[in-house]
Amino acid sequence: MSIKVRPAAMDDGEDESKSPPTSPTMGEVIARRYSRSELMRGVLAVTAMDVVVGGMLPLAAKAGSGGQAPPATPSFHFEELASGSDERHHVAAGYDADVLMRWGDAVIADAPAFDPGNPSADAQARQFGYNNDFIGFIPLDGRSDHGLLVVNHEYTNDELMYAGLGDNRKRRDAINEMPEPLVRASMMAHGGSVLEVKRIAGKWDVVKGSRFARRITAETPMRISGPAAGHQRLKTSEDAAGTRVRGMLNNCAGGVTPWGTWLSCEENINYYFWGKEAAKASSEAAALERYGIPEEWYPWGRFDRRFDLAREPNEANRFGWVVEIDPKDPASTPVKRTALGRFKHEGAGNIVNGDGRFVVYMGDDQKFEHVYRFVTAAKVDAVNPAANKDLLDTGTLWVARFDADGRGEWLPLVAGHPKLGAFKDQGEILIHARLAATALCATRMDRPEDIEVNPRTGKVYVNLTNNKDRTASGEKGVNATNPRAGNAYGHIIEITPDGGDYAAPGFAWDFLVKCGDPTIASVGATFNPATSKDGWFGMPDNSAIDALGRLWVATDGNAPDTTGRGDGLYAMETEGPLRGASKLFFRCPAGAEMCGPWFTPDGETLFVSVQHPGESEDPDKPGTFNNPATRWPDFKDGTPPRPSVVAITRKGGGKIGA
């Protein structure tokens, strides 16, 4: 996720590091580590000119085999889309990409029609929220053509949503001075939605009046569970027990469990809190600084005491968690699972381990932050889903250390660890997981975002979006897993658990690809030479594994002034001689980010989120309600651009990309 028109601190792609140096720098470890597989494949011998002149030759021929190698067989079969950026969305030939749900469309049956000229909190609480991000599909009756969509609503672009919030010079003041009705409406646009959807005659539609339909907002009552529940640092004047909280904020990526629940991940929670002077005077000043709290961007603290640290010093500790929601029970109470730790959660890629325990992988999306996993103590009950109700309350949170020799180790964040003596108890370790990870000397990464597990190959893929603050040496210097100074384009790391055991303490790691334009030698990109001029990308963000075990990568931050193209969805080869080759499949409209790719179990539908369309790609001329970069998807004067969910299907039917 990024917010391109925000000040630098608001864009988590430009977020100032809060992490102190702990792990060795590259100068102390190794001059530069290239992966063993890169050397074997001969990628280092492929020059930028090779890519330009022979961009579609098979890699085996490039590696100096002495003759023309037979063409490699790709996993993906579709005509690649041309890169670029304009006001509309585009999909590969032979596919339909239909807008399924837009900001302001009815979720609850009695929701009023979308009326951008008269925003209200009451209406928004029953309508589809803003900036849809993660999407999960939960089949009903085991069907791929009928199920529940669970969708995160991450944040709001108030200047695009509401008229009169000013130009770039005045926008910050205008937002801070928003009247209470607009602020309340903006609050209700956060959270998530549950939609019942059905495919009829090849087209998807939302089931109107569904008994499953639900909106979750910044006001929805939630329970706090796990080791930190009831902790002194979670108690407030409204909740003296420290076990109840209202709402979830800035929910970015997520996951779906085998027992049919939705894991929704709170990310950039710092932007909602006020009280900088109170933070400086707090006994938790160091922890607040590490989490970037308060940022004082959204003006919620003017109208809701919860978001003013001077009045509620512990409220911020109640956000930044993984929230578990049962979409099949609209009356159920969402639960913040504290055992999974508190940080800027990007996602919750997961798998049932061979021994039956449940493993969740998570990235902390900020520069120089860490990669985590959680392993349950108990096993998943595959026969009785209800037995897994509180499975995520007991287990161990681990943080990753990546070593220069291609090995890595998971370090346990547990009370009693000799390096965690400064923490009073397990609850404090989890509330301040970032500080505990630093104490264990976890590796400082280049913005760990989505992490997905490929159950067919056993590999785990970690998207590192970028880190322009990475330096060649010093406390912010390069390291083995983050080897490029001024890393503007990011990279993807592949983890192989020891013995195929996702709960094992050790693992091997390698680069899948280093992103950016491979024709510019100084960028250091390592796409397979079979990648065309349209197929390379920068800033990997979300990922998905389809029914055939193939990796798809969504991007965030590509724009004409950065990569010469808009954000989109790419098919990425991970095995064989084409490993590291990618192809562009879907392209977003101007200013938009690609989020939340999710496939139906039969692989015949791909749902994607198009977030913040209309943002300007020129940071000096931000998009506004009156002057957006596009009015997608309605293209009507006076109607703002509307973040939307898109359903992609193959003309005539069949699996996506097969």
pLDDT over 50 at 570, yes or no: yes
Q: What is the pLDDT of residue 591?
A: 96
Structure tokens at 622: 């931000």
Question: Rounded to an integer, what distance in angstroms lies between the CA atom of residue 594 and that of residue 604?
Answer: 19
Helix residue ranges per DSSP H, 197-303: 276-281, 285-290
175 — pLDDT class (breaks 50, 70, 90): confident
Long-range contacts of 281-286 (CB under 8 A, 24+ apart): 282/309, 282/313, 284/233, 284/313, 286/435
For 636-654, what is the mean pLDDT? 97
Note whether 197 and 149 are within 8 A (CB).
yes
Fill in the DSSP letter of residue 307: G
> CATH fold of 8-105+124-267+320-650, please?
Neuraminidase (2.120.10)
How is residue 118 written in tokens? 């008269």
Share above pLDDT 90 across residues of the chain, in percent, rounded to a whole number: 85
Distance CA 115, CA 87 (A): 22
pLDDT of residue 596: 97
More confident residue, 605 or 13: 605
DSSP three-state, residue 38: helix
Distance CA 356, CA 353 (A): 5
* Residues 487, 468: Cα–Cα separation, whole Å: 5
- Reported as a pLDDT band with limits 50, 70 and 90, residue 568 is very high
Question: Tell me, what's the pLDDT at 22?
Answer: 65
Residue 178 corresponds to which tokens in the numbers above?
Answer: 């928003």
Domain ranges of the chain: 8-105+124-267+320-650
Element of type H or E holding 462: strand 460-464
What is the average pLDDT across 111-117? Answer: 97
- Model pLDDT for residues 612-628, shown as the tens digit of each residue: 999 986 767 789 999 99
- First-to-last CA distance in the chain? 29
Of the candidates 272, 267, 344, the one whose C-alpha atom is nearest the C-alpha of residue 312 is 272
To the nearest 10°, the Cα dihedral for 122, 126, 127, 128? 120
How does pLDDT run across 235-272, given as a tens digit for each residue?
Answer: 999 999 999 999 999 999 999 999 999 999 999 999 99
Strand order in the sheet with 568-572: 90-91, 582-587, 568-572, 551-555, 540-545
CA distances from 128 to 100, 177, 311, 554 (A): 11, 25, 32, 22
Measured between alpha carbons, how far is 200 from 222 in angstroms, rounded to an integer? Answer: 35
Q: Report residue 164's pLDDT band, with 50, 70 and 90 as the boundaries.
A: confident
pLDDT level of residue 85 (50, 70, 90 thresholds):
very high
The amino acid sitting at 404 is A
Mean pLDDT of 129-149: 98
Higher pLDDT, 167 or 396: 396
